[in-house]
Structure 1
């Protein structure tokens, strides 16, 4: 999956370098609006007249490293057990040298798989449930919750915003709204983060749509009202992670939302998506809830009479296609996966 920029995987965005010509050519200027149809790509946590909170680029795919790492750990344990059992209980034969080969060469590989799988699990479990961003229309500041728990605060008008591009073996080329923090020379990139990320399936045009959603809120005179109407009429859901962990229902629903328009594909890919839902539940349950510093919270509080306040509590209920069909797919997919693994293991033990 696309984990570009994740420090735990050492896939950091390149910094301490000059801006490239392609970044300059694809720049989104704060005062320039987009003619694309606005889309928020299910990235808003909460909203009011003073600020808007967004999820990070890794939130939509959270759970993948957990379930994949768990499979790697279990596979490593299984093969290590086979090797040790074969060495200890195999009868004395002329093939004893092959058993020593397994102990000296294959056992360390199995132990390496266990370590590698655990390392993958730890990139999501025991961390933070998400790494939010807060855009303050009131103070024109952008707050970014870093992976180490610190907060980067930078003026909105000083950010160099451009089309970011990343490549992943599994998801191919992906795009995001990349925010660069520049040095005093307005040329050298000192820090970078993704301000918007449609999904691993998004394209360059998706960033135009996200900019058409985000830019009016910070720049247009009627931006608050326009953004509020978009969220009320087009989004349907705000991400339920404001000062809480998402529940198991949302973990299932969010894992299957990439295929929300294709129920048959949800069923076809249910082993993958169902395991991702389980991995997501585990990652969320073991992770800390991010907390903004007091000064950031204080400046972002809505006014007492603010009519433009939205949180996850304003969400409608998850219906059949949002929850119950994905729940069925999860049971079917995980059951099929476990059945295949049991069949393979039983064959190896014969």
Structure 2
């Protein structure tokens, strides 16, 4: 999946470089609204008259690296075990050259798979449940929770916003609303992050729709009211990670939302979505909940009588097609996958 920009072992967006002509051509100006229909792409944690808080670009696909990494690591461990057993306990034959080849060449490759799988798991597990971004309408500051637990604070008006493009072997070209913090020369990129990410299935027009949702909140006189109506009337769900880890129900529901309008596809791809749900649960359970520094919370005080406050507590009830059908698909998909692996392993032992 698309993990571009993940700051683990320095896999991140390129910085300390000048802006490109393509970034300049595809810039989003803070004062310029979009005519596209607004969409938030299930990225809002909470919203009020003071600030709006969003999830990071990796939140929607969280779980993939975990389950895939587990499969890679266990596969490598299985083959490494088979090679060692064959070398030391196989009957004496005239195939010792082949066994030495397995020990010298194939065993390191198998152990490399174990290491690679563990590396993938660590990109999600034992870290943070998510990396929130808070856009303060009143102070006009943007706070970004970095992957190392520190917080970047930059004025909204100083951000260089543009259409970001990344290429992934599994999802092809993906797009996001890329935010650059520039040096005093106005040319050099010092730090970058994704302010909005529609999903691996989004396109360039999706960013126009997200900008049509986000820009009015920060710029329009009636922006808070418009945002409130959009979230309350058109969406029904805010991300349930405000001061907490998401529960298993949301892990399942969120994993199947890529095919939310096609229940039959949820069943067809149930091994993939189901494993992602299980990996997502593991990643969430082993990670910490991010906390904003005291100074950020101090300048983000919400009025007790704020009529525009929305959090996950205001969500609609998750129904049959949002939870229970995906739960059934998870059982079918994961059960089928485990059964297939068990059948393959049993045949290898024969």
SS at match of 1:88: helix
Please give the residue correspondences for 1:263-278 in structure 2 after superposition, counting only pairs within 5 Å. 263-278=263-278
- Describe the SS at the equivalent of 1:174: strand
| Other-structure match for 1:126 | 126
1:205-255 deviation line (CA, Å, top 9, x unaligned) = 000000000000000000000000000001110000011000000000000
Q: Which residue of 2 aligns with 1:193?
A: 193
Q: Secondary structure at the match of 1:36?
A: coil
Higher alpha-carbon deviation: 7-16 or 212-221: 7-16
Whether the 8 Å CA contact 1:133–1:145 is kept in 2: the answer is yes
Matching of residues 41-60 of structure 1 within 5 Å = 41-60=41-60
Displacement, 1:317? 1.2
* Distance apart, 1:85 and its partner CA: 1.4
Aligned residues: 350
Q: Which residue pairs with 1:112 in the alignment?
A: 112
2:87 corresponds to: 87
- Distance in 1 (CA, whole Å) between partners of 2:216 and 2:135 is 12
Distance 2:25 2:230 in 1: 29
Aligned residues of 1:56 and 1:133 also touching (Cα < 8 A): yes
CA contact (8 A) 1:216 1:223 kept: yes
Q: How does 1:118-267 map to 2 (within 5 A)?
A: 118-267=118-267
TM-score, structure 1 as length reference: 0.99
Stretch deviating more after TM superposition (98-107 or 288-297): 98-107
1:284 maps to what in 2?
A: 284
Pairing 1:309–2:292 present? no
Higher mean C-alpha deviation, range 235-244 or range 92-101: 92-101
| Preserved CA contact (<8 Å) 1:165 1:175 | yes
1:126, distance to aligned residue in structure 2 (A): 0.4
* Structure 1 residues 9 and 169: CA distance shift in structure 2, 3 A: farther
**Matched residue, 1:67:** 67
Matches of 1:300 and 1:194, distance apart in 2: 22
**Structure 1: gaps spanning 5 or more residues:** none
Stretches of structure 2 that go unaligned for 5 or more consecutive residues are none
- Runs ≥4 residues deviating over 3 A: none
